[in-house]
Amino acid sequence: MTDHENELAAERRYVGELYGRLDAERERARRRYADALADHEGRAVDREGDVMTTAREMRRLDVAEEGLCFGRLDGAPRPDGTVDTRYVGRLGLFGDGAADSAGDEERTLLLDWRAPASRAFYTATGAHPEGVHRRRQFLSRGRDVEDYTDEILGRPGADAEGDAALLAAVNVPRGEGMRDIVATIQADQDRIIRSDDPGVTVIEGGPGTGKTVVALHRVAYLLYTQRARFERHGVLVVGPNTSFLRHIGRVLPSLGESDVVFATPGTLYPGVTASAEDAPETARLKGSAAMAAVLAAAVADRRTLPEAPVSIGLGDATVRVTADVAGWARDEARDSGQPHNQARSVFLDVLTWAITERALGRIGRQWLRREDTRAWEEMRASMLADLAVDGTFRRTVDALWPVLSPETVLADLLSSPERLAAAGADPALLRADGAAWTVSDVPLLDELAELLGPHEQEDRTAARQRRREQEEFAEGVLDSLVSRSDSMDDEDHLFATDLLYAEDLAGRFEERDTRDLVERAAADRTWVYRHVVVDEAQELSAMDWRVLMRRCPSHSFTVVGDLTQRSAPAGARSWGEMLDPYVAGRWAYSALTVNYRTPAEIMAIAAGVLAEFAPDAEPPESVRSSGARPWARPVSDAGIASAIEEFVREEGDRPGTAAVIGPAGTPGAMTPGQAKGLEFDAVLVVDPAAILADGDRGAAELYVALTRATQRLGVLHREPLPACLSGLSERVPSSSADRPR
């Protein structure tokens, strides 16, 4: 056998031992989980924390099937020929407690990729080897090590060998969803991932620079290094659409992290899932920071004064609720600083005091002395009891200071010219169905929820939901206490379910929330996260940012985006514009400039589009070429469907994924907005002139569409090809019927 084959066999044996150790760890975790669950459900002891901890540990151990060990670091040989060797993988594994040759009782078998000792695997170079003589990277499939590549640091040509593993990874055909890059993190990416800055980190990079996956690895690193800080509050990841969230959804679980809530801007308000988009001008108006003042005015407009005095009968007296009395109560309630629905109690207290005081003055002066305090208080208590059941008084209070929900206020505002005018809003916001929620409405609902506070209907709904969950949990407990199949022949056997119903048992768990962290956080608008990742952040409006800052008062954010790809009318034109109102001077900026996704041939075409609308922006530099020239093909209206079908057939015979991207209404295509953040082996862009017709916004969307491909790019055009795409090679239509007329 060759030296390479001998070393490969040795590495396979060692990795096999690591998997043996992993299986032993997994079995121990499984037993701990079963014991904790049995004790907890049997109510022998409250072990909910142990159940959650061991469940998390089992998930962490399961991720190793993605490739447990992917690298090795060797130090410089000592005079006696020995070498310090460290293996790097997805998680850390340690010895079984037996002392090794160095006397260490817990020898490190495998370093977690996030551990400080693993950093050199990503950052060591020939110029700065960081104590590393050789870096070895494994090519694995499941549990099998198929091969390895070595990089001897400091040797001429070592960089080219080091790039081999990276290029092999980026050239692999895409599958369903984004993959982690734990084995091929580059030094500039590692610097961002391991940043311990607790504040706001902005990661900007052009298409294909890996900014999204870097942000997700940064979350995994923070969870590893600051577990106690994060584990009870979780992390929120916000992406532009559900397709994008599905695309990135497996990265964090593959790194062993599951306490993460994924959301789009249209789902950040519990109970509402919005995907419809407003017209650009409407979206711009709703996203403006000025909408916060409009909504506050809309709430204030619902606190009215009586147009005419309202007469209320109290015993032998009749008192009137006048504008001046109601105005005094309104001012006191408003000045309390409480949200609208909570301030109602202040309004009610002041109003009832005022009218009972008037009634007492009229009745009591006839036969009571002021010194008779007890009699006065008894009479006031009687009047308060009368007011509590007086229909006229209740209707008056409801009219002057109503209990409001965010949905009611916003629907009424958007469907009423009078309410829009009273709130100082642009009349262009008027629409027929005020409750047809769009993505731009979600931050407005959240803002109103903050202004209004909880309301009675919301409280009742939440209570019913909690009760249902408690009953479901109780049913599970009862099922675990008895199995009828164990005693089917014993007709006189008495079961727990014969004595106790689930709804009765549920009452014993009223203080217990059986949902996991992700479920609880996603359902609770007031949940506070320890960290928030915002992807495609350039698309978020000022109102969106108000929502996110409320979700994370500590302002610990990883913000990911590219200002040149902004297409949202209310999106960011600069990072300072959005962040300075909250963290002025306290956010760090990092740029990624290397394109790992888009081959140079495609990036050259996209750069021409970028120069049209952002001439000062530098396109990212591609690390590779694919050898496939991007092409353009003219088609007629009648031939476009068959041309798309032809592309789909061709790509269906190739490994990887393919997508058609075009303007809304293109058959079988996604829009550029829907394609944001996604990647495919092959992309067909349809009607570039139609995409460009929307000015700079359209140019940004075309730039997005062109940069989704990792290997092959084609363009179908009915109109003459835009000048910025002149670098495309011409493909002749397959038949005369396909040619434009």
- The one-character DSSP state at 721 is P
Cβ neighbours of residue 527 closer than 8 Å, sequence gap 6 or more: 233, 520, 521, 551
Report residue 342's pLDDT band, with 50, 70 and 90 as the boundaries.
very high
Tell me: the pLDDT tens digits for 130-157?
A: 889 999 999 888 888 988 888 888 654 4
At 180, the amino acid letter reads D
Tell me: the pLDDT tens digits for 237-284?
A: 999 999 899 888 888 887 878 788 999 999 999 999 999 999 999 999
Q: Is the dihedral of CA 154, 155, 156, 159 positive or negative?
A: negative
Residue 327: count of CB within 10 angstroms of its CB: 14
195 vs 175, residue with greater confidence? 195
Angle value at C-alpha 62, between 87 and 213, nearest 5 degrees: 70
77 vs 166, residue with greater confidence? 77
User: Which whole number is the average pLDDT over 694-708?
Assistant: 92
Does 395 have pLDDT greater than 70? yes
Q: What percent of the chain has pLDDT over 90?
A: 52
Q: Calculate the CA 266 to chain-centre distance.
A: 11
pLDDT in the model for residue 240: 93
Whole-structure pTM value? 0.82
Tell me: the pLDDT tens digits for 203-243?
A: 999 999 999 999 999 998 988 888 888 778 889 999 999 98
pLDDT in the model for residue 369: 62
pLDDT in the model for residue 336: 95
User: Which whole number is the average pLDDT over 604-623?
Assistant: 92
SS (H, E, C) 623-662: CCCCCCCCEEEECCCCCHHHHHHHHHHHHHCCCCCEEEEC
Report CA-CA distances (Å) from 34 to 44, 58, 459, 470, 600. 14, 11, 36, 22, 53
Does 694 have pLDDT greater than 70? yes
The rounded distance, in Å, linking the Cα atoms of 705 and 708 is: 6
Residue 408 tokens read as 């009611």
Among 469, 479, 481, which Cα is nearest to 43's?
A: 481
Among 461, 707, 452, which Cα is nearest to 595's?
A: 707
